[in-house]
Amino acid sequence: MKLAWILTLAVSLHAAERRDLFDETILIPRSQWRGIRVALSSRPATVRCRFTITEGQSSVRAVIMSAADTERFRKGESFRMLATTGAGRQGSLDFRIPRPGDYMLLIDNRTTGGEAVKLDLKAWLDFQEGDQFGPRELPSQTRSIVLGLSAVWMMVAGGWPGWRIWRAWRRRRDALRGFYPDRF
C-alpha cells in the first residue's frame, strides 16, 4: 500500500513538471493563423512547440508573443515577437517565458500565401523544479521617483500629527502660563 502511495506521488510530481497545451492535428486555412493561449502566474516555464505539415504545400511558422502584441497583430498594427521559427514544413520552438503574464503561441500560415495546410501540432510547458519568478529591480529613474514619493509620504504621515501635537502643546502651555508664571 505504501508503495502505491509513493508511486502515485512520484507520477504526480513528474506530471507537475510538464503541462500539455495542445496535441492535435489542425487545419489552418490559406492566409490565416491559429493561436494557443499560454498563461503563467507563479512559475516560469519553457514553451516547447513541434509541428509537421501532413497535407498541403504551404509553409508555416510558430511565433510567441504577449497577449497585447497579439491584439496588435490581429489589428494589423506593428507588434513585437518574443520568439519565432523560420517558415517551413516542419519546425520546433523552445522559448523560456521571461516574466509572468498572458502569452500566445501562434501558428501562422500567412508566410507564403499558398494553400490550406493540415499539420500535427504539439505544444507543452516545461517547468523546472523549485523555479519561481524572482524579484526584479526597478530602473534607477523609477526607483528615485518611488524613494522621493515615499519620503514625502513619510513627512506628511509623521509631520501632520507632529505639527498638531506641537500646536496643542503650545496652546496648553500658553493657557497654563497665567496660572504658574514662574514655571514657564
Question: What pTM was computed for the model?
Answer: 0.60
180 and 98: one domain? no
For the chain, the average pLDDT equals 82
The answer to whether residue 11 sits within a structural domain is no
95 and 38: one domain? yes
Beta partners for residue 119, in sequence order: 26, 53
The answer to whether residue 170 sits within a structural domain is yes
Among 9-18, 54-63, 135-144, 147-156, the minimum mean pLDDT is found in: 9-18
What is the pLDDT averaged over residues 173-179?
72
Residue 179 has pLDDT above 80, yes or no: no
- Total number of domains in the chain: 2
Measured CA to CA in angstroms, residue 53 lies from 64, 117, 127 at distances of 19, 7, 27
Share of the chain above pLDDT 90, in %: 24
**Host domain of residue 156:** 139-184
